Amino acid sequence: MDLIRTTGYHRRPAHVVAEKKGFFAGEGLEVSFEEATYAPGHNQGMAEGRWGISLSSPDTMIARTTRDGVDFLLFMQAEEGLDAFLIGRPGIGSLEQLRGKLLAGDPGDSNLDLIRKKILRAHGIEESDYQVEIIGSSPYRLEAFLQGKVVAAMLTPPSSEKAFGAGGTLLAKAEDYVPNWPLTGGWGLRKWIESHRDLVVRFIRAWAAATDWLLEREHF
């Protein structure tokens, strides 16, 4: 088996299926996955070659390539759409109530922070109208939310479900502001991808087969 080290913020359904149903093994691949919790650490690790492939939104790749000059390459677009929500703590029933308050955030060029800014700007609320504490990925933002350290956060499942279960209020849906968001892509350093082309092609085949499996209704 040939090992590919991957990372991302969530293990995606196609990844789980490819692993459990033998699609990776069928391509002679052993695919490890390390969950990322903080965008700067993820980005630095990818730039240093700690992992060969990131399975995450390409927005980070674009930001690091255009701003920092890191030679990343996108080789696969796997999912689109973003199941994310701006959720307020109990008692916060509107976006206007976020003015002057502290919100949970991830680094400023991460996808959910960019979308939060877009949502609030669409309602006339600029970044100067509220505060943001950089906390990390959804599970960490949820923790701060539940502890009452922040009044609102952008969250994805299952963290969003836990926030709603704790009485959180829906302030906005990401998909209403950014439809067809490129949710999951496969990307990495160009030099790694080019030098491991055969592995990457086999990985894509396994991922595509797992996606086809998911789309066949008889499995559900």
- Can you give the CATH number for the domain in which 145 is found? 3.40.190.10
pLDDT of amino acid 219: 59
Q: Are residues 35 and 108 in the same domain?
A: no
Closest C-alpha to 45, from 12, 5, 75, 11: 5
Q: Are residues 47 and 75 in the same domain?
A: yes
Q: Report how many domains make up the chain.
A: 2
Q: Are residues 144 and 89 in the same domain?
A: yes
How do the pLDDT tens digits run along the chain, 220 residues long? 999 999 998 899 999 999 999 999 999 999 999 999 888 889 999 999 999 999 998 988 898 899 889 999 999 999 988 889 999 999 999 999 999 999 999 865 678 888 999 999 999 999 999 999 999 888 999 999 999 999 999 999 999 999 999 999 999 999 999 988 888 999 999 999 999 999 999 999 999 999 999 998 665 5
* Long-range contacts, 42-51 (Cβ 8 Å, 24+): 42/7, 42/9, 45/7, 46/7, 46/70, 46/72, 46/188, 46/189, 47/189, 49/189, 49/192, 50/5, 50/7, 51/5, 51/6, 51/7, 51/188
Q: Are residues 30 and 100 in the same domain?
A: no
Domain membership of residue 103 as a residue range: 85-176
H or E element at residue 120: helix 111-122
Q: Are residues 90 and 75 in the same domain?
A: no
Q: Are residues 106 and 165 in the same domain?
A: yes
Q: Are residues 89 and 170 in the same domain?
A: yes
Q: Are residues 137 and 108 in the same domain?
A: yes
Q: Are residues 169 and 192 in the same domain?
A: no
Instruction: Look up residue 3 and give its amino acid.
Output: L
Q: Phi and psi for 182 in degrees, rounded to 5?
A: -75, 90
pLDDT of amino acid 220: 56
Q: Are residues 56 and 113 in the same domain?
A: no
Q: Are residues 99 and 70 in the same domain?
A: no
Contact 165, 157 (CB under 8 A): no
Distance CA 79, CA 211 (A): 10
Distance CA 125, CA 99 (A): 7
pLDDT of amino acid 11: 92
Q: Are residues 74 and 95 in the same domain?
A: no
